[in-house]
Structure formats: structure tokens, C-alpha cells
Chains A and B, each alone.
Chain A
Amino acid sequence: MSGGTLKKNLPGLLQASLNPWLVRIKDHPERLAFILHRVTGVIIILYLMAHVYVTNTPTRAGWEAWTQVMAQFGNNIWNKIGEWIIAGCVIFHGLNGIRLLLVEFFGIGVGRPVHPKPPYRPVSLYAGQRLMLLIVFGLAVIGWVWAGLIIFG
């Protein structure tokens, strides 16, 4: 893609891929799940890079430094809020990832192919994968609340 084409398409790309609030999600929760999967994935990999560095603290600076770092995390409300957001990202990304594995990798819940008939609703909108999607959203909310109780408790 040339630079000009990229510039021209960038607003649409951002709207379609990165900003869940600009996308019409009514009747399209799959689209919301796709976007959230990407957004949470990017947040998680950024966290993971920091996590790998922080968990190196005992090796780099000794166990006393580790205890200090953990005390800082445990006593700062903003760090706890950050951990809770990361936990929410991991829970949603993990649950939706399991759904994607079942649907895309193992072909579970995709339904049987059918002849197109009016009103031409694709199987994906009413077969098992729609139910799985709703279960993912439900469990993610429950899991996030539970993670909050653990982190702030």
C-alpha cells in the first residue's frame, strides 16, 4: 500500500479496527469481539514486556529490591487499577481466544452449510458460535468482577 493510499484509508482503518465505539455493534457482537480481542492483545503484550523485565528484578538487583517493588505495587491504588485493567484484558482475551480456537481451529459451533433463503441470515448469526460469543461476554464480566475482588480485597 502506498503512502498516499494509506493516508486516505487510515480514518477508515482506525474506525474499523481500533475504535470499538465507532463501529455499529448492534447485531454485530462478533465485530466487537474481534476489535476487543485486538485491543486487549496489544495491551497484554505491552504489559508482558514490562512483566518479563520486572520479574527479572531479583536476578538483577536481589530479593530486597523485589520486596520493595511489590510493596510499591501493593500500596498504590493506581497500580492496582492498572492490574485490574490488565486482568480484564487477560480474561476477555483468553475466553474469546478459547472461542476462536473452538470455532476456527476445531470447527465447533459453526453449524451446517445451508442454502441461502430470505431473509439471508448467515448461520454465524444464530448457530452455536453466537451463543458461545454471548457466553464469553458474560463470563468475562463475571471474571473481571472476581479479579477486582481479589486485587482490591
Chain B
Amino acid sequence: MIKMSKASNIQVWQYITAILLIFFLGFHLAERIPQITGLTYHQSLDAENVYHNYSSYGWALWFLAAIALFHGLNGLRGIFLEWRQGKTYTLTVNALFWIVYLALLGIATWTVISLPALG
């Protein structure tokens, strides 16, 4: 049975993932800043550079996807749970949250694990 999550739990997880995102997303965005990388924004998205990023720290990109998706979908869950209340409604929102989260995390995991070698 899916446990009813307390509003305070949702908020605490938002704070924890937010703190992690400051570092991981900050690093990810810094990879696109020409003054830091020496590459233009579009050069930083070239296949060679992206492949280099994945092969150097694919685990960090996977972890970033895991916490960013959790933070975003958990925030959306909070908005939906504020909108309406009720046991069935809450369970449905919580179940949808986990289904969408695990599906998207599955895609991210597939990306990192099965990334083909460059040409």
C-alpha cells in the first residue's frame, strides 16, 4: 500500500534536493558558460564535448537527473496536493509521482549506461 506522505516530508525533501542541486546543477550549467570552458555555448553541445562529459562524469549527470527530477516532480506533487485534498486523490497523485519519476529516471539511466562510443 502506498503510504500517505505528510506535507512536511515533501518540503524537507525539497530542501535536501535543493541543496544538492546548487552544486550539481551549478556545475552542469557552468559547462555551458564560454568564460569558464573556453567553448561557445553551441560548441559545448557538440557530440565530442557531450561524449567527453558523459565518459568523464556520467555518474554525476545521472545523479543530477535523479535529484532534479525528484525536486521538480515533488514540487509539482506539492502543488497538486494543495489544490485538492482527499485520500484517493492523494494516493493517485503520489502514485503518479512515483510512476513518472521512475519512468524518467529509467530513461536517464539508459542514457548513461548504454551511451554508444563516438564514431
Contact = CB atoms under 8 A, between A and B. Distances in A.
Interface residues of A, number: 34
A52 B33 CA distance: 20
A56 B22 contact: no
B59 interface: no
A70 B76 contact: no
A105 B15 contact: yes
Given A59-B110, A59-B111, A94-B25, A44 B32 contact: no
Contacts of A53: 107
B7 interface: no
Interface string A132-153: 0000000000000000001101
Nearest to B85: A1
A131 to B, nearest CB: 20
Interface in A32-83: 38, 41-42, 44-45, 48-49, 52-53, 55-56, 58-59, 62-63, 66-67, 70, 73-74
B10 interface: no
A84 to B, nearest CB: 11
B100 to A, nearest CB: 8
A66 B79 contact: no
A6 interface: yes
Given A45-B76, A94-B22, A151 B46 contact: no
B42 A74 contact: yes
Interface in B43-73: 45-47, 50-51, 65, 68-69, 72-73
Contact of B47 (A66, A74, A101): A66
A63 B51 contact: yes
B116 A62 contact: yes
Given A41-B72, A74-B45, A153-B41, 16 more contacts: A13-B83, A48-B68, A52-B69, A53-B107, A55-B108, A58-B115, A58-B116, A59-B116, A62-B116, A63-B116, A63-B119, A70-B42, A73-B45, A100-B18, A150-B33, A150-B34
27 contacts: A1-B85, A41-B72, A45-B72, A52-B65, A53-B107, A55-B111, A56-B111, A58-B50, A58-B51, A58-B111, A58-B115, A58-B116, A59-B110, A59-B111, A59-B116, A63-B51, A66-B47, A67-B46, A90-B25, A90-B29, A94-B25, A98-B22, A100-B18, A104-B15, A150-B33, A150-B41, A153-B34
